[in-house]
């Protein structure tokens, strides 16, 4: 089964990105799955109570110079994401090398 690597960038220009590897029977299927996942991330919303609780934990962690747990950070980031990340490149094989071409052995 072919391996595909995709690079998505935040639509808000923040510089945030996601690099995803997926194994799929076809490029079309892989792209469709990744685009659906990305839309699902943008559609994610916490309940008002859960969002308030996580925000309190986030502020407390900042005051104490602590790190919020990974799950809480992920949920808050998804809740705050207004638009799906945009697909910037998609290749069959491994992550592109320095010149944008797939690495050897990919």
Check residue 93 and give its pLDDT. 81
Write out pLDDT tens, residues 7-52: 999 988 888 898 999 999 999 999 999 999 999 998 999 999 999 9
Q: Within a 10 A sphere around the Cβ of 34, how many other Cβ atoms?
A: 20
Do 19 and 85 form a contact (C-beta atoms < 8 A)?
A: no
What's the pLDDT score for residue 13?
A: 83
pLDDT score at 87 = 92
pTM flag (> 0.85): no
What pLDDT band is residue 96 in, cutting at 50, 70 and 90? low
pLDDT over 60 at 59, yes or no: yes
Q: What is the edge-to-edge ordering of all strands in the sheet holding 17-23?
A: 17-23, 3-9, 86-92
pLDDT at 103: 57
Mean pLDDT, residues 68-74? 90
- Phi-psi sector, 20: left (phi>0), alpha (psi -120 to 50), beta: beta
């Amino acid at each position: 089964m072919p391996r595909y690597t995709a690079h998505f960038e935040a639509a808000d220009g923040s510089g945030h990105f996601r690099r995803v590897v997926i194994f799929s029977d076809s490029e079309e299927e892989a792209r469709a799955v990744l685009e659906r996942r990305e839309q699902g991330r943008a559609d994610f919303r916490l309940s008002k109570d859960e969002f308030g609780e996580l925000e309190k934990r986030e502020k407390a962690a900042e005051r104490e110079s602590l790190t919020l747990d990974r799950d809480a950070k992920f949920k808050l980031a998804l809740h705050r994401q207004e638009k799906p990340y945009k697909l910037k490149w998609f290749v069959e094989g491994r992550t592109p090398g320095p010149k944008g071409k797939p690495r050897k052995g990919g």
